[in-house]
Structure 1
Amino acid sequence: MEAAEISRSGLDVEWTRLRVVAENIANINSSGPANGKGYVARQLVSGPVEDFPATLDRMMREPMPARGVTVYGIEARRDGSKRVYAPNDPQADKQGFITEPNVSLATEMTEMLKAGRAYQANLVALSSAQDMYASALKIGGRA
């Protein structure tokens, strides 16, 4: 995989991460019945397309660079919901509890900033790769 393709895979992952953060923020005040059927905060799980030992084994056979990153999935956070005492809520159970997502605006904004910076870094890397390809073509006399 070329450098530009690796950067593109990083852009895809960070875009997905931003969508998950936006969904969490959009549902920060949503509530559901106390049985836990309401919105549950989610998180993105991502990582390399192949693990490090597999990359080393493959590179011993064929000298190709890393294969980029991918989204493994979007899963519910362990602390994804909380029971809140709200006896006047129409969805409250007999004891007066409802379920709310355990979403912290500060945490989500931090995640958004981190994802935005990673997205920006991948854009810079992609631009640099394209500049290097263009320079290589000029040196080769093809452009």
Structure 2
Amino acid sequence: MGAFDMLSIANTSLGAHQTWLDALSDNIANVNTVTSTSQSAYQAKFAVFTPDANGGVDVAGFAQSSAEGIEVSSPDSPLADADGMVREPDIDMSSQMSQLIMAQRGYQSSVQVTKSAQDTYDSALSIGAK
């Protein structure tokens, strides 16, 4: 594998991890979004990845959680139905935070691979310059 291949693969990884981070940030930002029981709950986004032909990764799309969410009692809410219930998204905050850490570490690893490839190029260029 050449240094150009490393850069190409690291680039797809950076894009994939950024997409994952974006989806997670949307989910975390909407964890407390409340709707009436007659409306759909916020649907959490989950990035779906596939391998590409060059050894990298592509974003195939997004899966979403159920629109049913969770009905919770909140009689003081202006969105509450006659029984005092509202709909919240079915988002597990601890899972989202764990995934956030994994996505951050993956992004950091991809950045390090990019830096290593750049150092390899710089070394090769300096050999020819002397």
**Superposition TM-score, scaled by structure 1 size:** 0.76
**Superposition TM-score, scaled by structure 2 size:** 0.83
Q: Kindly indicate whether the alpha-carbon contact (under 8 Å) linking 1:81 and 1:102 is maintained by their aligned counterparts in 2.
A: yes
User: What percentage of aligned pairs have identical amino acids?
Assistant: 31
Residue by residue, what CA displacement relative to the aligned partner does 1:85-122 show, whole Å, maximum 9, x if unpaired?
Answer: 33332223344332101122211111110000000110
Instruction: Please give the root-mean-square deviation of Cα atoms over the aligned residues, in Å.
Output: 2.2
Q: Kindly indicate whether the alpha-carbon contact (under 8 Å) linking 1:32 and 1:100 is maintained by their aligned counterparts in 2.
A: yes
Counterpart-to-counterpart distance in 2, 1:49 and 1:127: 22
Structure 2: gaps of 5 or more residues: none
Counterpart-to-counterpart distance in 1, 2:124 and 2:106: 27
Map of 1:16 onto structure 2? 19
Q: Does 1:111 align with 2:114?
A: no
Map of 1:99 onto structure 2? 87
> Aligned to 1:44, which of 23, 44, 47?
47
Q: Does 1:133 align with 2:121?
A: yes
Once the two structures are overlaid, the 10-residue window that deviates more, 40-49 or 106-115, is 40-49
Map of 2:111 onto structure 1? 123
> Aligned to 1:31, which of 2, 22, 34?
34
Partner SS, residue 46 of structure 2: strand
Structure 1: gaps of 5 or more residues: 51-65
Residue by residue, what CA displacement relative to the aligned partner does 1:58-88 show, whole Å, maximum 9, x if unpaired?
Answer: xxxxxxxx24111111221258721223333
Greater relative contact order (Cα < 8 A, sep 6+): 1
Q: How many residue pairs end up in the alignment?
A: 127
